[in-house]
Chain A
Amino acid sequence: MDFDFSPLLGSWRFLAAGLWLTVLLSITAVIASFVFGLAVALGRLYGPAWLKAVLVFYIDSMRAIPVFVVLVWIYFAVPIISGYTFAPFWAALTGITIHVAAYVAEVIRAGLTSIRKGQIQAGLAIGMSNSQILRHILLPQAIVRMLPAFGSIISVTIKDTAIAAVIAVPELMRQAETLAGQSYRPIEIFTTVMVIYFLIIFPVTRLVDRFYTRVAHLGRS
């Protein structure tokens, strides 16, 4: 079998544009998932009973439905139901976010409940309110403790962006498919794409782990 990487040389800009969109989608999805997931975690922990019930249902649903299905549903079903059409990028961002945020919420909740009661009492004892204790004592420690889990979530989120290809978001995977179809060189192109994903995700998870070992003591009460 002979390999020919020349289609890549001619079309690297095409693939690079896809890579850029993958990076953009990953970053926005990670940020949105953390913000939304934090809100869900707080609602589930401290919200009124009806809200807790809604959020538990949401979290259970997201854990039971593939992200692929969520994304396709948002892109194809939501417009029919609501008459509101998402651009592919926004549909992908929304789908990935509401899926990943459920996992983020569970991780943050576990982190918050793992901090022992004495820390809350220490905050109360100097006159802090519950919301001050949450912001200044519990959340910072919970986030430190949950860094390894967040590292995994970030890597899963980046991988999930590849699913956006099915709704024609011209991200890395979609561009690669197009290129492979045009050039009849799928092995070369998909191998390259595999290496690119690895080169993005591997350093990210490694960096998070490194960072965690340096700051772990900040979450150890």
Chain B
Amino acid sequence: MTAFTRKNADKPPMLIYDKVRKKYGNFTALDGVSLNVNAGEVVCLIGPSGSGKSTLLRCTNALETLDGGEISFESRPLPKTEPEMRKVRQRMGMVFQSFELFPHKTALENVAMGLTTVRKMGAEEAHKRATALLTKVGLADKTANYPANLSGGQQQRVAIARALAMEPHVMLFDEPTSALDPETVGEVLSVMRTLADEGMTMVVVTHEMSFARRVANWVVVFERGQLLEEGPPQQIFEAPTAERTREFLSHLGWNG
């Protein structure tokens, strides 16, 4: 294998997972995961459902507590107390498979929510910023819509804008297009691609193999709570070292 240097490999990684373990009762969802995410990288997590990808994302912003190992973010271990953790979460954006927009708020209010409640920003300033972000994701004309009056793709773009409003240093995406109608998948992936081009650090759980192949700088294959293998997309998609990776990819209909 030719030497491959990862993006920003000379700088300290943005996220370091060190032998991360997470159990639900007797079930081990993450079984000693070690992984780095460098600044500006797009890291795609792929693998069969139930392999622990979502769990890893939820552990990253401490929506779950670890049962072993450690996660460091910007060179500091995740804090243990809630108030400190809330500060850290503001520097991490998260996008959910099921959007989780607030149904009682308009698109604009959804995006402004963090600014007005967490940052205590005035409504006018917050709405100005929210409008700019909605424009960025192509929804300048939908600011007054409630989530019920938006398509899935539009809702997910609002959710991305909501996360961006806090000016995060890393964005975590948990299967952002899995709940979408096929015709709206593209609009969300294109917003994500724009973010990647702007240099946003992104951790993306996805089954969109062509997105992973084209946009990711680094691909990580999960199986049963463990890393099966990791590498640049060319390697994972064209010359995977693990037989199970090959099987997983062919299951998804990936043929190079």
Q: Name A's B-contacting residues (CB within 8 A).
A: 118-119, 121-122, 124-130, 132, 136-137, 140-141, 144, 217-221
User: Which residues 20-36 in B have Cβ within 8 Å of A in the complex?
Assistant: none
Please judge, given known A-B contacts A126-B114, A126-B166, whether A118 and B86 are in contact too, CB under 8 Å. Answer: no
CB distance from A163 to the nearest CB of B (A): 36
Chain A residues whose CB sits within 8 angstroms of the CB of B118 once the complex forms: 126-128, 132
A127 touches B89 (CB 8 A): yes
A220 touches B103 (CB 8 A): yes
Q: Is B94 interfacial (CB-CB < 8 Å)? A: yes
- Picked from A118, A124, A129, A218, the residue with its CB within 8 Å of the CB of B104 is A218
B104 touches A219 (CB 8 A): yes
User: Which residues 102-153 in B have Cβ within 8 Å of A in the complex?
Assistant: 102-104, 113-114, 117-118, 146, 148
5 A-B pairs whose Cβ atoms sit less than 8 Å apart in the complex = A122-B100, A126-B118, A132-B118, A136-B102, A220-B148
- Picked from A127, A130, A218, the residue with its CB within 8 Å of the CB of B90 is A127
- Picked from A125, A128, A219, the residue with its CB within 8 Å of the CB of B94 is A125
Q: Is B61 interfacial (CB-CB < 8 Å)? A: yes
A122 touches B90 (CB 8 A): no
CB distance from B83 to the nearest CB of A (A): 8
Nearest neighbor of B64 in chain A, beta-carbon distance: A121
B63 touches A124 (CB 8 A): yes
Q: What's the Cα separation between A124 and B89 when bound, in Å?
A: 8
Chain A residues whose CB sits within 8 angstroms of the CB of B117 once the complex forms: 128, 132, 136
Please judge, given known A-B contacts A128-B117, A136-B117, A137-B102, whether A122 and B96 are in contact too, CB under 8 Å. Answer: yes
A126 touches B90 (CB 8 A): yes
B166 touches A121 (CB 8 A): no
Q: Is B176 interfacial (CB-CB < 8 Å)? A: no
Q: What's the Cα separation between A10 and B104 when bound, in Å?
A: 52
A118 touches B96 (CB 8 A): yes
Please judge, given known A-B contacts A132-B117, A136-B113, whether A125 and B61 are in contact too, CB under 8 Å. Answer: yes
- Picked from B89, B104, B165, the residue with its CB within 8 Å of the CB of A144 is B104
CB distance from B53 to the nearest CB of A (A): 16
Q: Is B55 interfacial (CB-CB < 8 Å)? A: no
User: Which residues 57-76 in B have Cβ within 8 Å of A in the complex?
Assistant: 58, 61, 63
Q: Is B163 interfacial (CB-CB < 8 Å)? A: yes
Chain A residues whose CB sits within 8 angstroms of the CB of B6 once the complex forms: none
Chain A residues whose CB sits within 8 angstroms of the CB of B51 once the complex forms: none
Please judge, given known A-B contacts A118-B96, A125-B163, whether A219 and B90 are in contact too, CB under 8 Å. Answer: no
Chain A residues whose CB sits within 8 angstroms of the CB of B207 once the complex forms: none
B148 touches A125 (CB 8 A): no
A218 touches B146 (CB 8 A): yes
Chain B residues whose CB sits within 8 angstroms of the CB of A129 once the complex forms: 82-83, 86
Q: What's the Cα separation between A27 and B163 when bound, in Å?
A: 42
Chain A residues whose CB sits within 8 angstroms of the CB of B98 once the complex forms: 118
A125 touches B104 (CB 8 A): no
User: C-beta contact mask, B224-247 vs A, less than 8 Å → 1, else 0?
Assistant: 000000000000000000000000
Chain A residues whose CB sits within 8 angstroms of the CB of B93 once the complex forms: 125-126
User: Which residues 199-237 in B have Cβ within 8 Å of A in the complex?
Assistant: none
Nearest neighbor of B109 in chain A, beta-carbon distance: A136
Nearest neighbor of B88 in chain A, beta-carbon distance: A127
Q: What's the Cα separation between A220 and B102 when bound, in Å?
A: 9
Q: What's the Cα separation between A121 and B83 when bound, in Å?
A: 15
Chain A residues whose CB sits within 8 angstroms of the CB of B163 once the complex forms: 125-126
- Picked from A127, A136, A141, the residue with its CB within 8 Å of the CB of B87 is A127
Nearest neighbor of B86 in chain A, beta-carbon distance: A127
Nearest neighbor of A121 in chain B, beta-carbon distance: B63
Q: Is B162 interfacial (CB-CB < 8 Å)? A: yes
- Picked from B90, B102, B113, the residue with its CB within 8 Å of the CB of A221 is B102
CB distance from B24 to the nearest CB of A (A): 14
